[in-house]
Amino acid sequence: MPYGSYSRIANSIIQLSTLHLEKQLTASKHAMKTRIYIETTIPSFYYTLRKDVESQAMMNWTRRWWSELAPEFTLVTSTAVIAELRRGTGETVEQRLSLLENAELLKVTRYIDDIANIYIEKRLMPNDPNGDALHLAIASVYRVDVLLTWNCKHLANPSKMEHIRAVNYGLGLPMPLLTTPLNYLSGE
């Protein structure tokens, strides 16, 4: 075989190896992305119809986070969020649901319900087994890195973090970072 043929074969092998390596690195990078649980308040404020200054600011921050930062993460949500959004009224229900169409959907299990009830019994969350306790349980059981929310009273509340951490530690569960889109934007 002439030298030129060997050279072409060697170049082809190098190109294929490089392409294979690039695919592996891309898959590895995707697998290592931070997983963020999108709680109900995020799509709700993305499409809010409220006109007060605070709601408009939250809408703008949510939209900015979604367009600038969301692509850097693996987004997950749950059947509980979808059910909550479907119970909404008005013209934005379908828009809110469509925002989550590419997010991984986490299912609620009996174990998750049990954890949510423990959160309620330990007074971590309000007595609503389908509310905040359920979202925290889903994010904790599925070992999601971040629970993104605008609920600063019950979820993204710094004064509750140690109590949540202690209860989750006792249950053998990790504690997700509980934060808002604004906290991400403030760190730029």
Residue-wise pLDDT tens digits, 95-112: 999 999 999 999 999 999
Give the pLDDT of residue 154.
Answer: 84
Orientation of helix 79-86 relative to helix 132-141, angle to 10°: 150
Tokens matching residue 41: 């308040």
More confident residue, 33 or 1: 33
Short-list 141, 134, 183, 133, CA closest to 158 = 183
Strand partners, 105: 77
More confident residue, 7 or 40: 40
Q: Name the residue ranges covered by the structural domains of the chain.
A: 1-32, 34-186
Q: Is the pLDDT of residue 18 over 50?
A: no
CATH 3.40.50.2000 assigned to domain 34-186? The reply is no
Torsion from C-alpha of 83, 85, 88, 91, nearest 10 degrees = -130
The pLDDT-based confidence of 14 (bands split at 50, 70, 90) is low
How do beta strands 104-106 and 146-148 pair? Answer: unpaired
Tokens matching residue 1: 């075989």
Cβ neighbour number for residue 110 with a 10 Å cutoff: 7
Residue-wise pLDDT tens digits, 142-165: 999 999 999 888 888 888 899 999
Task: Look up residue 4 and give its amino acid.
Answer: G
Residue-wise pLDDT tens digits, 115-145: 999 999 998 887 876 789 999 999 999 999 9
Global model pTM greater than 0.95? no
Question: Can you spell out the DSSP letters for 82-146?
Answer: HHHHHT--STTHHHHHHHTTTSEEEPP-HHHHHHHHHHHHTTSS-S-TTSHHHHHHHHHHTT-SE
